[in-house]
Amino acid sequence: MTLPIERARSRRPITWLTLIGVLLLPVVIGGILVAALYNPVERLDSLNAAVVNEDEPVTIDGQLVPLGRQLTAGLVEGSDELDSNLTWTISNAEDAEEGLADGTYAAVITIPENFSAAATSTQPGETPERATIEVTTPPDSLIVDDAITAQVASAAATTMGTQLSTVYLENVFLGFTTLGEQLGTAADGATQLADGATQAADGAAELPGGLSQLAEGNAQLADGASQLAGGAGQLAGGASSLQSGLTTIAGKTREAAGGAQQLADGVTGGAAQLEQSGLVPDELDAGADLSATLAGDTEAAAAKTLELAGGCFAVSTDPQFCVDLVTQATIAQRTAAGAQQAAQGTAGGLRAFDTAATAEFAGQLRDIGANVVALSGGLSQLAGGIDQSAAGAGELAGGAAGIQDGANGLAGGASQLADGATQATDGATSLADGVAQLADGTGELANGLTTASESIPTYTDDEATDLASVVADPVAAEGLGTSLFGASAVPLLATLALWFGGLGTFIALQAVSRRALTSRAPSALLALRTFAPAAGLGALQGLLVAGVVQLAASYSWSQWSAFALVSVIAGIAFAAVNQALVAVFSGGGRWISALVGVFAMATGVVSTVPGVLSSVAGLLPTAPAYNGMLAALTSVSGVGAALTGLVIWTLLGLAATILVVARRRSTSARALLKAAPVAA
């Protein structure tokens, strides 16, 4: 069945099949574009990729760290937050290269041998190195395939880096806690050190006074030692004199012992003669006188010995020697007393001899002789003791001389010590000042360490883990869609489908009626007659494209109704503009229409297009359609402005068509003679 609608470039009538083809053209275009490009993330499992793990694990603190293996598992199996949406194959370098060449793999991710070593190079004592992975795609890969594989690899590397950074930062934050505790301990130790230094400063301040007293005491010691040396010299002289006197006394005592022995012999012999003759011999008188003399000498020696013994205690360092000397002097005194009594007895006995019995007197003489013998022995012992005393006096003299030398040395040493103590006093003053400064500096150190310890934050294990996870990934983007082209994908695809639908309409339909020259109807009415079927087709195209979009995206009713309204108006406006382009430029108008579609596609995919192209695209009729559809599906405002713009383009298109129709209603005679119709 044919319709009264003129076909372009042909007088054949338009059929319903032609109209259905024109009507379904934008639906087919939009359906193909939406099906192929809308939300491709949901179909990423059809994208095959290979992962080649050449990493050599490292060992840290005795624990194996296979980061390449972990990254491979993360790519293949995904994570708790996001599943792996590509089809991954764990391969080797040779198989991956062959797979890229024959199209088996759309991408190959290679984890190098030093991946674990580089990723863990933040350990102390190592040179930090960035871990890298290599993404390889075939030279004939599709446009978006490279972007998808690069994004997946980047996300995996970022996730791995975040995990490593989290562990590293967690250790850092826990290190802050340990450092704070250690600084606190150091601050306590510095405080104690400051207290000790303060006490040391106080002690050092007292040290100069003590050293001054030491210097004075040593000076006094030097004087005393000098005096001791003088006294020791006198002691040595006295001891030498004592030794000489004792030697003399010992000689006299021995002589007395010899005289006593002679006296004893004379008394004994006199006693014998007396018993025999009854007469007192002359030797007895002489013995009595000798006994008296001996007694006097012995008494004098005892007195001298006692005198020396009295001075011994003042100069001797050996008290026992002085005691022995006193003992010998006492024995000498007793001997002298005994000798004196014997002499007196002898003299008395001799004076009484005339009146006493000779026998009795002789017995007394024997007793006296025995006593004198005893006296002689005692004098001999006394002489020996005096010899010992003389020897001791010699030793005393030598010791006193040694004491004198030692005292002189002590005096010199004490003088030097006094000088050293004086110098030490000056040093102690400097020491006191230095220790006081040390105490002040240590106090400041303690305060600084305390401030530092209080300033360093401390964390528990859980706090360190939470903070490290935030610091390692401090910025998170919310509200990101999973669609590869974002929210603008559907409006862009729908705009392109409707625009090319309007172009297809006037590839099939006549833009300006062939009856314009012969018809009596107004030019505007003739233009509207050719526009009406195209407008109807455009409205239906908009409604069908909106239906296809709803099947793919399932928008809410309010969003879809606004989107459908903009689509219907856009279909009508695009029909009017394409009619005007073909009417004004004939076949060139279709070329211009195709160029408009290319501009809309080029400027709607990415924002990095040159500014000139963006400015030109903003003036095209596709701009208000795109903006209106985007406003209908998102929170962006501008549906009303978009509808107004589409209406304006519709009116401009109709006005241009009317002008062309009016121009076609006048012609030349040559044109009338042509038999062939004018093809629009």
- Please give, one letter per residue, the 3-state secondary structure of 499-565: HHHHHHHHHHECCCCHHHCCCCCCHHHHHHHHHHHHHHHHHHHHHHHHHHHHHHHCCCHHHHHHHHH
pLDDT score recorded for residue 478: 41
Which pair of structure tokens corresponds to residue 117? Answer: 């070593």
Query: Quick one: angle between helices 489-508 and 622-633, nearest 10?
Result: 140
Q: Quote the CA–CA distance of 321 and 337 in Å, as a whole number.
A: 24
Q: Bigger pLDDT: 275 or 653?
A: 653
Asked whether 264 and 373 are in contact (CB, 8 A), the reply is yes
Q: Does the CA dihedral 601-605-609-611 come out positive or negative?
A: positive
Which pair of structure tokens corresponds to residue 400? Answer: 């006193």
> What percent of the chain lies above the pLDDT cut of 70?
60
Q: Quote the CA–CA distance of 618 and 602 in Å, as a whole number.
A: 12
pLDDT tens, position by position, 568-593: 999 999 999 999 999 898 888 888 98
pLDDT score recorded for residue 242: 65
Q: Quote the CA–CA distance of 253 and 381 in Å, as a whole number.
A: 9
Q: Bigger pLDDT: 560 or 184?
A: 560
Q: Bigger pLDDT: 30 or 390?
A: 390
Of these ranges, 203-217, 268-282, 579-593, 641-655, the one predicted with the greatest mean pLDDT is: 641-655
Q: Quote the CA–CA distance of 471 and 166 in Å, as a whole number.
A: 8
User: Cα angle at 415 between 412 and 418, to 5 degrees?
Assistant: 150
3-class SS shares of the chain: helix, strand, coil, % to 5: 75, 5, 20
Q: Quote the CA–CA distance of 51 and 133 in Å, as a whole number.
A: 10
In terms of phi and psi (left: phi > 0; alpha: psi -120 to 50; beta: otherwise), the region of 510 is beta
In terms of phi and psi (left: phi > 0; alpha: psi -120 to 50; beta: otherwise), the region of 103 is left
Mean pLDDT throughout 187-193?
77
Q: Bigger pLDDT: 600 or 2?
A: 600
Asked if residue 136 has pLDDT above 50, the reply is yes
- Strands 107-111 and 134-136, bridge-based pairing: antiparallel
Q: Bigger pLDDT: 641 or 412?
A: 641
The CA–CA distances, whole Å, from 547 to 20, 389, 552, 553, 554 equal: 17, 149, 9, 10, 10
Q: Bigger pLDDT: 599 or 233?
A: 599
CA dihedral 635, 641, 644, 650 (to 10 degrees): -80
Half-sphere exposure of 213 (CA within 13 A, CB side): 4
- Strands 13-15 and 58-60, bridge-based pairing: unpaired
Q: Quote the CA–CA distance of 543 and 24 in Å, as a whole number.
A: 11
pLDDT score recorded for residue 267: 63
Asked whether 430 and 149 are in contact (CB, 8 A), the reply is no
- Strands 63-65 and 58-60, bridge-based pairing: antiparallel
pLDDT score recorded for residue 108: 87
pLDDT score recorded for residue 648: 96
DSSP single-letter state for residue 103: T
Q: How confident is the model at residue 560 (pLDDT cuts 50, 70, 90)?
A: very high
Asked whether 234 and 315 are in contact (CB, 8 A), the reply is yes
pLDDT score recorded for residue 475: 45
Mean pLDDT throughout 508-531?
77
Which pair of structure tokens corresponds to residue 165? Answer: 């950074």
- Strands 48-53 and 87-91, bridge-based pairing: parallel
Asked if residue 543 has pLDDT above 90, the reply is yes
Q: Bigger pLDDT: 119 or 647?
A: 647
User: Cα angle at 66 between 60 and 72, to 5 degrees?
Assistant: 155
Q: Does the CA dihedral 402-404-407-409 come out positive or negative?
A: negative
Q: How confident is the model at residue 240 (pLDDT cuts 50, 70, 90)?
A: confident
Q: 297-306, 560-569, 656-665: which range is least confident on average?
A: 297-306
Asked whether 139 and 420 are in contact (CB, 8 A), the reply is no
In the chain, the domains with their CATH numbers are 2-38+487-673 (no CATH), 224-420 (1.20.58)
Mean pLDDT throughout 52-56?
90
Q: Quote the CA–CA distance of 55 and 133 in Å, as a whole number.
A: 10
Q: How confident is the model at residue 331 (pLDDT cuts 50, 70, 90)?
A: confident
Q: Quote the CA–CA distance of 70 and 51 in Å, as a whole number.
A: 12
| Average pLDDT of every residue of the chain | 74
DSSP single-letter state for residue 7: B
Which pair of structure tokens corresponds to residue 585? Answer: 């430029």
Mean pLDDT throughout 153-170?
64
Q: 142-151, 302-311, 464-473: which range is least confident on average?
A: 464-473
Asked if residue 657 has pLDDT above 80, the reply is yes
Q: Quote the CA–CA distance of 635 and 631 in Å, as a whole number.
A: 6
Q: Quote the CA–CA distance of 54 and 113 in Å, as a whole number.
A: 5
Asked whether 457 and 183 are in contact (CB, 8 A), the reply is no
Asked whether 574 and 653 are in contact (CB, 8 A), the reply is no
| DSSP 3-state of 64 | strand
Q: Quote the CA–CA distance of 503 and 22 in Å, as a whole number.
A: 9
Give Dmax (Cα) for the chain: 232
Cα 496 to chain centroid, rounded: 62
Q: Quote the CA–CA distance of 460 and 466 in Å, as a whole number.
A: 10
Q: Quote the CA–CA distance of 539 and 530 in Å, as a whole number.
A: 15
pTM above 0.85, yes or no: no
